[in-house]
Structure 1
């Protein structure tokens, strides 16, 4: 077994510590002792942890026997002189200059090791990326290609490396970057030596302010097209989901929100509760503002479909030209502006409930298509040929007289009977005024929360005024009156003066035409309009009859109604 060289180090600063770390890794060298006058020097602590003896004075250091080599790393002439004078003759002394040289060699060795490590990491990265990479020097000589280059072009590294880019791909991005010394972006070309068309980005390599070559990164167009198609498909899925999210809602009311003790109202409520336990079609009839939509919400909430979509469609509000598309959707390109496939209301309501409000205003063509959905639970999108199956519970509502419309041929009789499986007739508010106080109490709580008010109730005069009013707009009108009263009132009790001027039309009208209480002509005009709508109804057909009776045009009636809201 070879004897180890016994070494001692004086000075554990930066240089001495570097020497220590390097020598400690060499098998045939044994560091016996290290010395430094500062006990806080990290080099001493490192040696202690390694089990090497340490000291703080030269006297102690020189007492250590049998040192083959003493390395003086302080650079102090005084220390060097004392060591030379007192060391054993068998000990060789390497002074600071030699130690510095050793330190330089050690540092360069470490730098080289770091460079090799970084090169290994860089090679691993370049070899793993999916994009093709090619590097050339300033003279155009190709120095490097990664495996993806060969995969994309089918050109092996042995054939490519060493050739000149100006000969191999003179029109490519790499050659262009070398010629111009400028970056090149989104350059479309064919890779020389292959017929692969690529999109490339190239950039000069600058070292210490001078160009040292250039690098190009590219992908074949086929990969980009695939990515574009995948992105397009993903965007379509996102658009469809966003469309569903924007249109799908859940029911907002339950049976607890329906207030009324009148026998006719309670009868409709009991029937609605029973209807909720089935999936039968429900037809809700009643004047505008009687709460037909609230009943539809409550039926859905109490049904087994409560966690599925509740989709509302106002049949009178959708233009006739768009009705079919709104209901059943359309395929991309079916008509001008149909830039993508659109899901219809029936699609969106699948598994849940669709509420068809103002069903009496649906056009006859769409009535026929709706009848098929009710019978077969299937339809085709506009412009499509694929039959789509759905499971939808239908609740319809109307303020019109559908039996009379079927006799006149304005509404399909077969559709009416298909809709009228369970019929709920909602009474107008004027027929159950005893429920007004309960409605008012509920509305006060609702609007206190909405407006941050602290209204307690109405005065007895105000309540009497509400009970005497005829309520042509039903519960909706009562809600509007209470909302406006609470907005304008700062008291805990709402007075009759706060209510008096809030009605859409005073009621009842004076019965005589003699001289009585005077009122502004504008208020009298509102009275007559409300009386006409109360008599003929608030539907589109009712408004036509009201305008005829008032001897004004339908457009004039609509304009006047806007000023009354």
Structure 2
């Protein structure tokens, strides 16, 4: 057993230690550090070895070999002065030892890399072929044999310029450039491949080339699969862009009037079924709001809610919007498109302005409602769907039926559950809550701090019949809030906007006594606002008289039907 000490704890000392520590006949007694070294003992924190100052060297007994890895003159002289019969390995011999050790390590590293590279090349599905700078094949992987049918031993050693002169590998060797997407038949086989080749350049010199290729049919299959998935992605992207969810619930329908509450009750009952619903009401009454609420309250709320405005889409495009179209159905149809009914599958489709649909499309819509199936425009594949239909219109459908503009059978199919939404003029008691909601909403939108309306401003709103209903009310309130800076909106802010809308052409009126005209106005006011105490209060405000005066006039006129 050779007892060895190592002088130096730097990189060279560490390398010598690594070289000797696993040799059975060598025992490393300790290491010595010198003042000439900048390295610290931190390098050795994971090694179970003693590290002493070099001044302690004379104290170590029974040393067979001293290995000096430090080239310091002072250290060399110190060792010679105390070594006696102990063998000393000088730094020159250490350098030779380290060079051999490092070459061995590099060789092992190269072998590891070769093993890893060989494993990778043998496992890939693409064929790999390598040739030297003279064109002699040096390597082929197993995939080469699988694709071409040529065993590796029959290929290695052959020259590519003889067996495959038109291949990508030969071209890369001739030109020294990368070759991409080269389609060729492999020499010696019937395999048609698509290949990529690259020259191997080392220190600026061409040392060979490598080619990677796949069978052409495999590439075509991949391309077909790519096209298929691209089409799927495009269709899903289109579908995602068109699918919406419901925005409103019944809690968003504001108002306490009996007529509105009755409509909400009918709609809530309809929501619990899958029956078709027909929403009737003037423009601006909130038919779309009801449609959203019905969908939200139904079992389909997690599914799509698709809206189609039948009046906004040209007649010649409405069918393709409803049912989609197949690729090549008409000029410009470069891909298939999903229609609204298919998008709404499992959910609800809202057909707004259904009364404006042409008769031909009405017949096709009737079939969908009856059979829940259809074909895309230009296609022959029958598509089945599960869709709940909610239709809406502001037109008189029975009158359209009588004039031959709407199919009676479609009307009965749509009108399973009918919900009539009252106009604003018959539920003016809802004006305060609607206006308050609009003010809060528009304050956020416009950055305003409007607190409310003065009584005379409320009277202006009560005195107007709102032919545009809630939509018109929102338009007027927003217009006023945009143009004024007051915190409380007054009559003067509204009168110009409402009076412009109230302007009607003058017409001849039969002259009648003033007291008779007074009776007529009181009768109209009571008919409009009702005979309740609240109704009479509003009637008095509309007539610009006190409530007491109104009661006196009613009593004096002896209105028998006033229920006073």
Give me the whole-angstrom Cα distance separating, in 2, the residues matched to 1:403 and 1:39: 109
Q: 1:135 aligns to what? A: 130
Quick check: 1:283–1:395 contact (8 Å CA) kept in 2? yes
- 1:448: how far off? 1.4
Task: Work out whether residues 35 and 44 of structure 1, in 8 Å CA contact, stay in contact via their aligned partners in 2.
Answer: no
Whether the 8 Å CA contact 1:328–1:344 is kept in 2: the answer is: yes
Equivalence for 2:20: 23
CA contact (8 A) 2:32 2:51 kept: yes
| Cα distance change on mapping 1:316 and 1:17 into 2, 3 Å | closer
**Does the 8 A contact of 1:286 with 1:399 survive in 2?**
yes
Q: How does 1:59-458 map to 2 (within 5 A)?
A: 60-77=56-73, 79-81=75-77, 83-84=79-80, 86-89=82-85, 91-458=86-453
Q: CA deviation at 1:391?
A: 2.0
Q: 1:202 Cα shift?
A: 1.7
- The CA distance in 2 between the partners of 1:120 and 1:245, in whole Å, is 49
Question: Does the aligned pair in 2 maintain the 1:320–1:363 contact within 8 Å?
Answer: yes
Matched residues in 2 for 1:48 and 1:341: separation?
Answer: 69
Which is further off, 160-169 or 187-196?
A: 187-196
Paired residue secondary structure (2:502):
coil
Quote the offset at 1:377 in angstroms.
2.1
Q: Secondary structure at the match of 1:158?
A: helix
1:99 Cα offset (Å):
1.6
Q: Deviations over 1:162-181 (max 9, x none)?
A: 11111121111111111112
Q: Is the 8 A contact 1:33 1:54 kept in 2?
A: yes
**What is the CA–CA distance in structure 2 between the aligned matches of 1:491 and 1:183, rounded to whole Å?**
75
Q: Distance in 2 between matches of 1:53 and 1:401?
A: 104
Q: CA deviation at 1:457?
A: 1.0
- Structure 1 residues 103, 466: CA separation in 2 closer, same or farther (over 3 Å shift)? same
The answer on whether the counterparts of 1:285 and 1:426 sit within 8 Å (CA) in structure 2 is yes
Secondary structure of the 1:75 match is: coil
| Structure 2 counterpart SS, 1:481 | helix
1:499 and 2:463 are equivalent in the alignment: no
Task: Indicate conservation of the 8 Å contact 2:36/2:72, yes or no.
Answer: no
Instruction: Classify the secondary structure of the residue corresponding to 1:266.
Output: helix
Deviates more, 1:220-229 or 1:80-89: 80-89
Aligned-residue RMSD, C-alpha: 2.5
After TM superposition, the score normalised by the length of structure 1 is: 0.84
Kindly provide the CA deviation profile for residues 217-251 of structure 1, in whole angstroms up to 9, marking residues without a partner as x.
22222222122122112122212222221111122
484 and 63 in structure 1: CA distance in 2 versus 1, 3 angstrom threshold: same
SS at match of 1:395: strand
Cα contact 1:469–1:508 (8 A) shared by 2: no
Q: CA deviation at 1:364?
A: 0.7
**2:248 and 2:293 in contact (8 A); partners too:** yes
CA pair 31-267 structure 1, distance change in 2 beyond 3 A: closer
* Gap change, CA 1:50 and 1:421, over 3 Å in 2: closer
Tell me if 1:35 matches 2:32. yes
Distance 1:16 1:388, change over 3 A: closer
2:532 paired residue number:
none
Corresponding residue pairs, total: 509
1-side partners of 2:45 and 2:474: how far apart? Answer: 88
Question: Are the equivalent residues in 2 in contact too, given 1:12–1:41 (CA < 8 A)?
Answer: no
The structure-2 alpha-carbon separation of the partners of 1:438 and 1:13, relative to structure 1 and needing over 3 Å to count, comes to closer
Contact 1:485 1:499 in 2 (8 A): yes
2: CA distance, partners of 1:210 / 1:192: 27
In structure 1, the gaps of 5 or more residues are 515-565
The separation in 1 between residues aligned to 2:203 and 2:4, in whole angstroms, is 42
Please give the per-residue CA displacement for 1:95-115, whole angstroms capped at 9, x wherever unaligned.
222122112211222222222
Q: Name the stretch that deviates more: 354-363 or 63-72.
A: 63-72
The DSSP-based 3-state class of the residue aligned with 2:194 is: strand
1:9-65 deviation line (CA, Å, top 9, x unaligned): 33343333322221222222222343332498768677796554544236x424434
Deviations along 1:73-101, one digit per CA (max 9) or x if unpaired, are: 32345544554454343x33322221221
Q: What's 1:550 paired with?
A: none
